[in-house]
Structure formats: C-alpha cells, structure tokens
Structure 1
Amino acid sequence: MKILAIIPAYNEEGNIERLVNKLTQLDIDTLVINDCSTDSTVQICKNMRTNYIDLPVNLGIGGAVQTGYLYASRHNYDIAIQIDGDGQHDPAYIELLVDSIINHQADLVIGSRYIKKEGFQSSLMRRIGIKHFTYLIKMLTNKTVTDPTSGFRACNKKVINFFAAKYPVDYPEPETIVTLLRNNLVVKEIPVVMNERSNGISSINSIKAVYYMIKVSLAIIIDRLRNQDKEIAEHV
C-alpha cells in the first residue's frame, strides 16, 4: 500500500530534521508542507533532499494540512498520516495507527494521549479545550473521542479524498471528526505517548486557544444544525 506522512511545518528548524530522519527509517513516503516559514525549515528540507511543498503564503494549519491531502489524493495514496513537525508525535506509533486502516476496522485513526494518560499531557488551557470538544462531540454524535485536537492521525483513501475536497481552516481536528461521524465513517483512537516540544514555540497561545475553541464550537454546531435541517426537509 502507498502510505504518505504529511508534516505541516511552520518555523520548525529545530525539530524537522530529527523527525524526517525517524520517518525515513519506515517504509513510507514523507511530505513536508512548509507553511511560509521565516526560519531555515525549507533549507533543511532541501539539504536533506526531503520531498516538500513550499507554500508562497502562510495558510495556517488547515490550509497546510489540506495541501498534503490534495497531494495524497492526486498521487493515489492509500493511507495518509498526519504528524506534526514539532516532534511531539512519535513515529514509532505509526504502525499501530495504520494497522486498523489496513485491516478495514476504521476510516480515521487518532493517536490519543488521554487513553492511558502517559507522557506529555499538554498545557492547562489546551486540556480545558480538549475536554470541551470531547463533551461537544459526545453531545452531537454520541461518540466519545478522548483527544479530539490530536494532530497525529491516519486515514484511508476515502477520507483522503474527502479532506482534499473540504477541510476546515482553523483548528480543524474536532470539526473534521464530527463531519466524518456525521457521514457514517468510522473513527477510532489508539493510545500513544506524546513528547513535549523541545525546540521553538507553539503558534497557538492561550488567547488564540480560547478564540479557536469558541470559533470551532460555533462552526461545528452551525454545520450540525444546517445538515439537520436538510435531513428534515428530505423526509417531509
């Protein structure tokens, strides 16, 4: 099967080389999406001869990741793995992520740090946001997702094509989970251990985290109500 690791990266010069070196030990392809970094991220990719896309403007996490899914769709990949460029996600878990995809047990598999609660558990503000989205997703879909903001995910070709056509711009992970569940696709979680960022700083601070939590929550609820109205209209 053709497997692609999509690595969104913005100013990850201190992390990207180590991550790519780990991925090259696996039998998968890698693609770095350089989201208009202002540091030497893209130069490191050139020096390593790593496959990369150099975006001309900063699209944010949603646009960068969707670029990867577009690439995966157009190059006919069977499985796409999303893994952050900051080094928090351990490539050692990739085999477990894709196992359920290969065995047709799930359409999307999420690496969750909150099943066994080992390793780095994120900041307080992010944990509050995670619990909020877990509750919201449970309320709307009756499905419990312990780590809905996790960017460590694997999906099959059906989801690749779905994300290539439509993907949220800001803080996209919770919204995409709801969308997939609403379309009767199977979402599964596996336990993983995540690392604390060793270099650089996150692009999401406390103020942005609150902003995104409110914005994404409204987007999820409005989308659910809109589609609920369509379902009602179809049965009238």
Structure 2
Amino acid sequence: MMQQRNSDILVIIPAYNEEAALAKTVHELKRHTPYDFVVIDDGSKDRTPDIIRKEGFPSLRHAVNLGIGGSMQSGYRYADRGGYRYAIQLDADGQHRPEDIAKLVQEITSSDYDMVIGSRFVAKSSYRGSLTRRIGIFYFHQLIRLLTGIPVHDPTSGFRIVGRAAIEQFSRSYPTDYPEVEVLVSLSKQGCKIKEISVEMRGRQGGTSSINWTKSIYYMMKVTLFSLIRKSFS
C-alpha cells in the first residue's frame, strides 16, 4: 500500500536481518530530513519485521530473501508508482549519515547528473575499512575505469541518489545481486552522467555483514563477467 506522498524525494532503506540498527537509522533519518521513506524488508528472519510493525514504518516485505538488487528494484518500483522525482538508497545498518543526504540532494537538483554517489574516497575522510574491502573497492575502481573511462573512486558505495529517468529504468530492470558496480557500467554506457561527492561514513551501528570471503570472491567474479558482457553487447 502506498503512503501519502509528502515530498518529491523517496529514501529507500533495504533491510535484511537489521534488528540491531534499523530503528536507530530510521529515527536519525527522520531527525535530519523531511523526505518520505520506505523500508524494504528482504525476508528477514530476525525481529526486523516486528520492529517495522511496532514503529509503524512505511514498508514492503519480501516473502523470501531476494538480495540487495531485488530490494532496490522493489524500492524503485515503489518510487515509480508514487511519482517521486528522486530516490535515495540508504543502508539500514547506520553506516551512512542521514545529515549527508542534503549534500546529495543539493548536487543532483542543481545539476544535470543522473546519479550522485556519496563517496568515502573522492576526498580525504576518516573512513578506513578492512584491507579486504579496500582491495575490492580498488579493483572495481580500476575495472570501471577500464570499461568506461570514468574514474569512480567508491564504486561499491550504496549511498546514492538518482533522478526520475533512472527510477523508471531501475523499476523495470535492475541487477539481482551486488548491483552497485553493474549499474555504474550500464548507466555510463547509456551516456548518463555520474558524479561522486565526499561524505563521511561510519562502521556498522549494529548487526553483522552478510558478506564473507566466499561471497566476496563470487561478487568480484560475477560483477566482472557481467560488466564485460555489458561492455561488449550494450
């Protein structure tokens, strides 16, 4: 069921087993922004659905876990049906600071960019992250630069805003899992304009990441293969 639209901007919050951080993330969002939001509960098996019901958060629930790509596509379909002009991805784990949303909004509304990414690395920040994560980010930075010529410094960042054209496109088609890099390659091939701006990011505010070594290797292989296919045939 659609909520009454009070803004032209929708914040999409994908959540899978985020009982430890979800409520804090949403309340912080509400303190710092006036925008509509929707939580996409991706088949959580912990108390996430109970928290959503208790707090009365606008939400959609998947009966089974579809992954981040499926969650974001559901969010973009919701934004498309609601007629939103812009959509923002905000992770439920509290790593993104809601006060930085204003920077994303200012950048995209005052320009002709199709996507603006909140980046940990386009300028000096306090974020460090694990060695494994930094190696993966650098790998995808190099891959995207090779395939598109665009130097995206933080290609795995899930903190991003898109405009109406991208909302309509993503509501129809979106990579099923680990979509962040594939989306950048796809948009750049269409001539879309992408920009990074510097934001601060924090460590997880609760819970644990679902990404491990095995999934990281699969992620790198899968994204590389599909990005090469998109480069060759799009």
TM-score (norm 1): 0.93
| Contact 2:43–2:64 (8 Å) recurs in 1 | yes
Q: Distance in 1 between matches of 2:152 and 2:56?
A: 37
Match of 2:16, as an amino acid? Y
| Contact 2:185–2:230 (8 Å) recurs in 1 | no
Q: Give the one of 111, 114, 119 matched to 2:126.
A: 119
- Determine the structure 2 residue equivalent to 1:190: 197
SS in 1 for 2:203: coil
| Contact 1:170–1:216 (8 Å) recurs in 2 | no
Q: Does 1:35 align with 2:47?
A: no
Q: Give the one of 8, 12, 27 matched to 1:6.
A: 12
Cα RMSD for the two superposed structures: 1.0
Q: Distance in 1 between matches of 2:119 and 2:89?
A: 13
Q: Give the one of 187, 198, 201 matched to 2:208.
A: 201
| Contact 1:137–1:144 (8 Å) recurs in 2 | yes
Q: Gaps spanning 5+ residues in structure 1: where?
A: 228-236
Alignment of 1:147-158 (within 5 A): 147-158=154-165
Match of 1:40, as an amino acid? R
Question: Deviation string for 1:138-181 (max 9, x for gaps)?
Answer: 11111100000000000100111111111101210011001111
Q: Distance in 2 between matches of 1:134 and 1:52?
A: 33
TM-score (norm 2): 0.94
Q: Distance in 1 between matches of 2:179 and 2:227?
A: 10
Tell me the number of residue pairs that the alignment of Structure 1 and Structure 2 aligns.
227
Question: Deviation string for 1:104-160 (max 9, x for gaps)?
Answer: 331100000012242333222221111111111111111100000000000100111
| Contact 1:69–1:160 (8 Å) recurs in 2 | yes
- Determine the structure 2 residue equivalent to 1:231: none
Flag as ranges the 4+ runs of structure 1 deviating above 6 A: none
Alignment of 1:1-236 (within 5 A): 2-25=8-31, 26-227=33-234
Q: Gaps spanning 5+ residues in structure 2: where?
A: 1-6
Match of 1:45, as an amino acid? I
SS in 2 for 1:31: strand
Q: Distance in 2 between matches of 1:110 and 1:122?
A: 18
Identical residues among aligned pairs (%) = 46
